[in-house]
Structure formats: C-alpha cells, structure tokens
A and B are shown apart, each in its own frame.
Chain A
Amino acid sequence: MLRLQTCIPALVAERLPTCRERARRLPGACQKPAKTCHGLPAPSTPLAPFAWRGESGAMKLLLVEDDAQAAAFLKRALAEAGHTVDLAASGRDGLLLAAGEAYDVIILDRMLPHLDGLAILRTIRASKVKTPVLILTAMGGIDDRVEGLEAGGDDYLIKPFAFSELLARVNALARRPPTSDVTTTLRVADVEMDLLKRTLTRAGERIELQPREFQLLEFLMRHAGRVVTRTMLLEGVWDFHFDPKTNIVDTHISRLRGKLDRGHSRELIHTVRGAGYCLREP
C-alpha cells in the first residue's frame, strides 16, 4: 500500500473538495477525525505535494470541453492535482490554443458545438503538433474508439469516468517514453526485464513468469512511478475493451506480486486505493 500522501489527496480532492478547501485554509483541519474517508489514517500534511505528480511534475494541460460545469470541475480537480490547465470552451479556441502553446497533454471532448472534436484533432495533427491527445466522449461504440485513435488520438476515455481514471491516463500520456520501441531492457529498482529474451531478474535472481504475467509486469514497468488503473491494464495487457464483472486484474496482480515481491523486503507493486496500481521504488 502506498503511503498516505502518495495516493489519498487525489481522491479526497475528487470526492470531498470541501475538506481540502478547509485543509488549505487551516493546515491540519483534516487531521480530525483521525480516519480519512477511506478508513486510512489521515494525511499528516494535507498540503503535501501531490503524489501522482510526484515524479511526473506539474504539467501544462489544455482542456477542450464545452460543458461549462464539467469543464470547471475537471479544471479545478486537475489544478488540485498540481497541473496548470488552460480551458477552451469551443473547438475554435481549442485549435488556436493547441497551435499556439506548448502543452504536455490535450484533453479533447469529442462532441463540441459547431466543430467535431475529431475534426479539431485532425487539424492539430495536420499542423504537425505531436502533443498527446486524450479524447473524452459520450459515444462508447467500438467504432467510435477506433475512429478517435485513427484521427490521431492517443487514448480514449468514455464518459462518465472516475476522475482518478482521467488523471492516471493523462499522466501515462504525458510521460510516454519516446524510445519505447527500441528499448530492449526495462529497469526499475533492482528488477531487470529483458524484452528480447523475455527474462526477468530481481536482485540478480531469475524469476519465472507466465507470458501474461510478463506482459502485465512489462506494462507496469513501462509506466513505472505512475498509477495505472484496472481499465488501463485490461486494455493494455488483455486487450479487453469492456469491464468484466470479475476482478481479474486484482487476482493477476496478486499472483505477480507473489512472484516478484516474495522474499524481498521492499515491495514494488503498490495498490492505489480507488484507482489502481503503481510500480515504484518504495
């Protein structure tokens, strides 16, 4: 389990902003009661740097969303996660901003008045802007997703979504390693993964994994230091683009953990409550 300050504030920020606001006005206000919303001890320093950006740092985001309420909520939540957010309420504004400013990630609502989100995306891509784009959409069809990705989107999130899901995906996009296709070895802490020989060692000791466990760990290692949600794992590892009712991700993670962390004092795979998992050095 991650330590408190590494995971909780996002969820507190998302679900109980009043508490955070109180906390901001009066540091320590959230220390009582001693338990937080999640039944965990309250963060000792509520204003401690936000965990999820601990390693990704503050990002500059562009949010193109016409629904004022949703936009305001997302902007505030993203700002509380430590990011700078520019808001564009129309496709035209979004285009101007995307072309004129350098962003780490663009969050683009697919259905905008007057101008289709995908049309904007194509225009952005045609003008050689390579900023990662996360498409938000109310259309959940398979073809819609394929269309979105073909238009130049990097990821696709169907409304309604949990804010933690959005945040995890934005983080994942921002730090997508540009040289991933030529990397042959992944290293996190004392874990080393050889992608060509498909072998894994921890502290020099060989660990045998099933092929799917290997893929799962590879996904976690490629996103090391960042939270990956269950949905991201389902899509990235199993290619399941729907939500099974059984929690298969947790089971597989627990088996992987058994093989990877057993006999080692430092656990590498951490559960981020209400969001997903994170592979990181303790």
Chain B
Amino acid sequence: MFRSSSLRLAALYTAGFALSVVALGAISLITTEAALRRMFDDRIAAESASLIQEYRTEGREGVVQAVRERDRTPGALDYGLQGADGRAIAGRLAGARAPAGWSVLSMGAAREDAERTRVLAARLPNGERLLVGDDVDRTEALNDELVRRLALAFVGVVLLGVAGGWGLSRGVHRRIASITGTAQAIIDGDLTRRVPAARAADDLGSLAATLNRMLDRIGVLMESVRQVSNDIAHDLRTPLTRLRARLEASLRAGDRAERVEAIEGALADLDAILGTFAALLRIAQIEGGARRAAFRPVDLAELSRTVVEAFAPSAEDAGQSLQLRAEGPLLAEGDPELLTQMLVNLVENGLRHAGPNARVEVRCKRAGGAPVISVVDDGPGVPAAERERLFDRFHRLETSRSTPGSGLGLALVAAVARLHGAEASLDDAAPGLACLVTFQTPG
C-alpha cells in the first residue's frame, strides 16, 4: 500500500496544495496587514485633521473640550494637547514625548505589557502640539485572528488531502492489484483468468477491458499454435511412420533391388516431409510480414499467363483443360515471387480437386477498380459450410484425404493474400468452385 503510486501521487498533491495554501495565506496576511495599517493611519490622520478644523471654527477652547470629551468616550482614539514647549495641557497623551509626525510610543515603558501606541503629532496654528494616536495592538489582534484562521484552514486542507488521497489510492490500488493478480495467475499457468470487469467506465476500466481483449487474442493465437503443432504432429507422423517402415524394410531386404526400392521410397517420403516443412516455414515467413519491402508494381495478368502456360500441358496430359481469361494488364503492388507461388497453388488446387476432364479457368479482371484474380473450376465444388475452413492450415476435406497434398496450399494462398492486403475467398461456381483473390483498389 505504501509503495502504491496513487498514494504517492495523492501525498505529493496534498503537499503541493498545502504549500499553496501557506503561500496564499502569507500573501493575504501581508496584504491585510498593510491595508489595516493604512486604514489605522488614515483614521488617526482624519481625526487629527478634524481637530485642527475644530480649532479653526471653535478656537483653542473648542479643541481642548473636544479632546477631553473624546478621551472619555470608550473605544475612541487617544488624544493629547501640549504647549509649544511640550508642557501637558489636556488629554491622555498630553504627557507623551513624541517627535513631530508619525511615531510609535510605548506607554508606561517600564511594564511588560506596555501598550504600544501609534501617534501623529501635528501643530495647531497657535503653535501648540496636537497628538492623536491609537493602540497598535488592536491591528495586531486582528492579524493574529487572521493567522489563527489560516492555520485552521491549512490543517483542514492537509487532513482532507491525506484522507482523500488515502481513500482514492486505496480504490485505485485495489483495482491495480486485481490486474496484477490476474497477470500473476496467468504467469502461473491459468490462462483462462481475466481481469474482473470494472463498474466505472474510466481509464482503468478501459485498461482492464483492453487487457482482457489482449488475453482473449493471445488465447486464440495459442490455440491456433497448439492446433498447428497438433496438425504438424499428425500430418508428419503419417509420412514419418511410412519413412521408418521403409527404412526398416530396406534393412531386412534380402534382395538388392528390393532394398533400393525401399530406400527410394524412403527418399520420396522424406521429400514430401521436407515439402511440408518448406510450406510451413514459407507461410510463417509471409505471416511475419517482412516481405512488404520487396513490393513493386506487378502485372497480375502477365503472372497468370506464365503460370497457365506452365501448367496447361500437364493439365492437357491429364485430360483437363487450363485456360486464361484476361483483358489487358492488371497492375497491383506486390511481391512477384510470392504472387506467382499463390497462383500456382490456386491452379494446382483447382486441377487436383476438380477431377478428370475438368476445365479450370484463371480470370484476371477488375471489379469496381480493384484487381481480382479468380481460379474457377467445374469440379464437384465445396459445400458452403466447408469453404471458409479451406484456408486453414492442414485443413483437408474428408473427400480429398485420399488425394495427395499437404493441406497447406490454400493456407499459403491466404497468407500471401493477407500480406498484400488482399482478400482470399471461395465462391460457388455452380457446379464448381471459384477461388477469388481480391486486391485493394489502388490509390
């Protein structure tokens, strides 16, 4: 809890806030004090000016009377009238020795609780001195009161900050702890664990949701990797078993010709296994996506022509026909080598599964500006429910288990298509199957 980043943040924030309260308090204190003092002085100066005015209207006697009268009024200022030589005439301050102008006098200097008085000494027109003053401690009491209240506010702020920070960080900490706990559980092997869903739709809530989505995705990938390794194990075990059997047979073979036959069979099995490996590695390499650097403009129609010309004679020998239908060049950005391999796989797939006397056609065209290559056969086709899975690794229809093939051909087609931002799909060609690769519209 004490190593919680939210608590540390809350503490820092509270400290910063408290500091700013102190600074604010200091500033207002200084300002208030200055303002109070000015008001204090203004009052004394106004009092002094009004008495001098009194002298002008009422004469000396009026002033003496006013001083005496005001001295008796509680809460009023202190007054004093002195002769030009400083002798006391009237008022409480009459005995004070104050210089001309502003000064602060200590009344009854001997005592500890000496009253400090701010005094303004002015001269009446007749040369006598008029002293007006007030108790300084009254402004200081006001100041002290202000300081006390500011200190209370400060304590309040700090208490609120600490309590709020504590509460806030406890909540955040609890939620982060639940994420940490989930991660730890996953590290320990429980891949099904997920971060509990948050009630609040805040950033931590969206973090938890994102983490859960990531975990789901990883789960799917792990599952597909597991599936692939199972498939590899299964699909390689069969030829490996055959290979082993043949090699054992070659050991037992009494006849030389028999032995050679077994070894040649073993080599053929080995080549088939290596072919599967090569296809898997190729798919993995393509899915790594590192090949995009080699992209350049490619004429898909030209590539198709090369492939069709290469495979047409074999198809004819097998009683099938392979044809190209292309209207002029069909340009796309891509890797010519991979695209060629993709086309070869599509054509071989069509020829292999469409059966004898099948007609396979490679079509190059544009659909809404996007280049589309399709390989259409008139074979038995594939049920709609089965079609999507044909692009999975090692997926083979039960009906085609008996025909040769690794089950990787269309997986490679899908991988090459994805690398090119194209989409590989299957469609019903009634009666046959149409494999389509739809590229993105250029630009």
Contacts and interface: CB of A to CB of B under 8 A. Distances in A.
Nearest to B293: A143
A248 B278 contact: no
A251 B348 contact: no
Interface residues of B, number: 35
B348 A240 contact: no
A251 B344 contact: no
A255 interface: yes
B278 A251 contact: no
Contact of B313 (A37, A141, A242, A252): A252
Contacts of A181: none
A240 B274 contact: no
Contacts of A36: 260
A39 B341 contact: no
Interface residues of A, number: 29
Given A140-B281, A143-B290, A239-B340, A245 B404 contact: yes
Interface string A190-209: 00000000000000000000
A100 interface: no
Interface stretch (B19-27, B201-209, B239-247, B304-312): B304-312
Contacts of A247: 314
Given A38-B260, A245-B404, A142 B294 contact: yes
Contacts of B314: 246-248, 251
From B260, B278, B282, residue with most partner A Cβ within 10 Å: B260
A178 interface: no
User: Helix, strand, loop or mixed for chain B's interface?
Assistant: helix
A246 B404 CA distance: 11
Contacts of A24: none
Interface in B321-341: 335, 337-338, 340-341
A212 B275 CA distance: 26
B256 to A, nearest CB: 5
B294 A37 contact: no
A160 interface: yes
Given A241-B337, A243-B275, A244-B348, A251 B257 contact: no
Interface in B219-269: 255-257, 259-260, 263-264, 267
Interface in A35-87: 35-39
Contacts of A246: 311, 314, 348, 351
Interface in A198-245: 210, 212, 238-245
Interface of B: 255-257, 259-260, 263-264, 267, 274-275, 278, 281-282, 285, 290-291, 294, 306, 309-311, 313-314, 317, 335, 337-338, 340-341, 344, 348, 351-352, 404-405
5 nearest interchain CB pairs? Answer: A37-B260, A251-B313, A251-B314, A248-B310, A246-B314
Interface of A: 15-16, 33, 35-39, 140-143, 160, 210, 212, 238-248, 251-252, 255
24 contacts: A15-B267, A33-B255, A33-B256, A36-B260, A37-B259, A37-B263, A38-B260, A140-B278, A140-B281, A142-B335, A142-B338, A160-B274, A210-B309, A238-B306, A239-B306, A240-B340, A242-B278, A243-B275, A243-B278, A245-B348, A245-B352, A246-B351, A248-B311, A255-B313
